[in-house]
Amino acid sequence: MSEKKVSYPVSIIGELTEPPGRGWWLIKWLLALPHYIILWFLWIAFFVVTVIAFFAILFTAKYPKALFDFNVGVMRWSWRVGFYSYQALGTDKYPPFTLKAGGYPADLEVVYPERLSRGLVLVKWWLLAIPQYIVVVLFQGGWGSSNSAGLVPILAIFAGVALLFTGRYPEDIFKVVVGMNRWT
């Protein structure tokens, strides 16, 4: 099974590796801990880089390429870890510790914008994005509470339970989970 969607400007790839291990998903949280720790620091840096990029776009209408590549790399790494763990449980292949693209069943690409609107940078990240944020919270969980799970991790766990008993990852659940992650 493969779910590949190429759209502008973001492309998210998730290829289900067959056959996934029946009970392997039960300990992936532990195996992913080193990634979670590193990603915690990378997301702090992502926030700082985003603030710097905000002002660069505001004054120059350009997103500095190095900052853009770093932020896309952090999102790519997060998607790979999520695909391996409880955002999809799509592969048993351990994710690489890299911001670079390629060589893994899950990948993320974002087309570099040559020019951005200086005026929209003031409103699109908060005002125009509010409906998107609401959908993301429903899909991924949140609302400021660490104990609320979204649809994506719940469906991934259902798929893991089905995998445990049948040896198969339900194709329809995989498509929905990757689709929700793509939206996010």
**pLDDT for 27:** 94
**pLDDT for 106:** 96
CA dihedral 6, 174, 147, 161 (to 10 degrees): -160
**pLDDT for 98:** 97
**pLDDT for 143:** 61
**pLDDT for 184:** 84
Residues in Cβ contact with 143 at an 8 Å cutoff, skipping those fewer than 6 apart: 137
**pLDDT for 146:** 54
Q: Considering only CA atoms, which of 138, 20, 38, 143 is closest in space to residue 83?
A: 20
**pLDDT for 6:** 47
Is the pTM for the entire model greater than 0.75? yes
Mark the ranges of the chain whose per-residue pLDDT is less than 70.
1-8, 143-148
Where along the chain do its domains lie?
Answer: 2-183
Helix (H, G, I), strand (E, B) or coil at 10: strand
Angle between helices 65-84 and 171-183 (to 10 degrees): 150
